[in-house]
A and B are shown apart, each in its own frame.
Chain A
Amino acid sequence: MLIRQLKQFPRALSHFSTVAEPAQVKLEHFRTNESTVSSQGSQHIGRFYRIPLEERKQLFTHGGLPKSFEKQAKTFGEVCVMVREPAVEIIDYIKSSDLSRPVNRFVLHGDDGCGKSLTLAHVLHYGLQNEFVLVHVPWVPNWFKRPKETANSSTHEGFIDLPFDSAAWLIHFKTQNANLLPKLNLKTTKDYVWSKRETTPAGSTLLELIEHGINRVKFASDAITALLSELKQHSTDGKCKVMVGIDGYNAFFHDKTRILTENKAKVTPDKVTLTKPFLDITNYDWTNGVCILAVDRIALTEERMESSLPRYQLGKEGFEHCDPFIPIKVENYSEEEFENCIAYYLDRRWIQNVTEGFDNELKHLSAKNPYNLMSVCAPL
């Protein structure tokens, strides 16, 4: 009765809202309070940590978390990521590596739904907290499979520009590095002449360069090229450190895209202006940086989905481009991780109909694959 009366006053009811409050009373065994990624270690593996709202907004407003995961996180009222072996391993490597050496490339690989993208997100969170300039592409195939608009490049003969996608990426870059860029105050090293009237002179800040790309969509692709080469230059000079995170990286080396030219000819990825700068920045010829590249079966088309191993996914050309790299395999949940995940779902009331042995059945139905588990649990 009281509730019914309260319903007439939504503001009063919001006080009793069911949205999860931060767990302050007692921490459940499957959670950890450690939201500073660099202090997470092997003792935290299998536990969930909450990404603070501010950092989440900065990192993932324009993509970065898998869509289904994001939906689920919205339902749960919090973004909790499990601390897992591959992410901890990469962060350990980054911490112990000498950044003055040529960049280390980490290639994430694994079966569908194992958590490659979330591992990448986890490492990006580390990058954000440790003042890396983030060069993050949420999902490369978006550019090649469903581009917003295509245009012939004005600067490179025979190349295709993706003006809107490029501008969107610039906004993404700007958001992710909103705190860092003004602080570092990086300047362009040379003049960029866009047209007769428009130039970005040497000595203007990188923000101005980005702003120009966003405002003049026509030059967004070229702005990215300029931006990435500037970043490479600055990090090699030791003015900043850069973390490159690219999901679906193998799409750059695939032999087809859905982009058509004006005379309806298919375009290969190497004829898209965006490809070159991102391949450049994943090259080994610069320092003070780190590259995390996720290769994914579904980044390619159906005829290239036989194996999820890097050699097959990247192809000969891509493999040689990345070589030498550190392969990191993302596996299905371990026994402990699986139990924690079930405990977390129970805590979030995501699983409500509990009968005896339900977890055992779920384990075998999903084969402990994180994505499968998520989808199997969805109707429960």
Chain B
Amino acid sequence: MLLKIAEILFIFGVLILGAAALTWVERRLLGLWQDRYGPNRAGPLGILQPVADMVKILTKEDWIPPFADRVLYVIAPAIIIIATFMVFAVIPLSPSLGVIELNIGLLFFLAMASLSVYSVVLAGWASNSKYALLGGVRAASQMISYEVFMALSLAGVIMMAGSFNLRTIVEAQQGLWFVVPQFFGFVAFFVAGLAESHRLPLDLPESEHELTAGFHTEYSGMKFGMFFLGEYVGVIVTSAMIVTLFMGGWHGPWLPPLVWFGLKMAFFVALFVLLRAAIPRPRYDQLMAFGWKLLLPLTLANAVITGGVLLAGS
């Protein structure tokens, strides 16, 4: 029992520290790819930058605009934190490590991803300002649309592993990672994950150039910090899910399983940052057309073909 609690606290702590470190890692990587340095002053290589940011954001005035809906305004940032952290409970980090083993682990992940939509929509609504509302509306339609493909792109994985249990799915990739037979599923899931965590090429709910900051325009202080934290935890969680579902989880030669999991996850986190550095944001109708006209047929065909092949093979 105590061991389990220690394990949960360990995973929780690693996740929070990872998200905090990611704020620094992302800026350093962006700097690297834009031929500049990024934050390199606080501590060696600027590693203490997250501490400085934390001190700054915690000591800021925590202001709620008088025109806002106070209850929803306060609840919204909490939802995204809870939803994204909950996902990590079902992810198996190594053969022995993992908070909980659910038979419906994958469904739990999809459910929590859907719940995090509430956060941005409620934030946009409760802020009671037009930029925030537009951001919230965009977030709602974007995330609901991409959830469809997210679930559909996983249909192939579920069929091949024969289970919703994430641990079973990882164990089914002992010989061959699912990224090979399920390549289209992998691509669709990657794009959908990007849209779900509303990271930069698909950050239309925020899009600072046209909506100032979208759904969190009115937020300041630690409430804004919680949205920020939620976004970075979302990046980590999406990377962890990609690794679990398609890249063979902890499998890999020579190195211990946990290290393999971490390395693969770090690769995808870096890829997320590279996408941010390289790809411009699409127009909103392009985003919707890409989802419904390209990804939906692709994932449906992927599911049908996978099912057919499996049926023929059995």
Bound pair (A, B): no
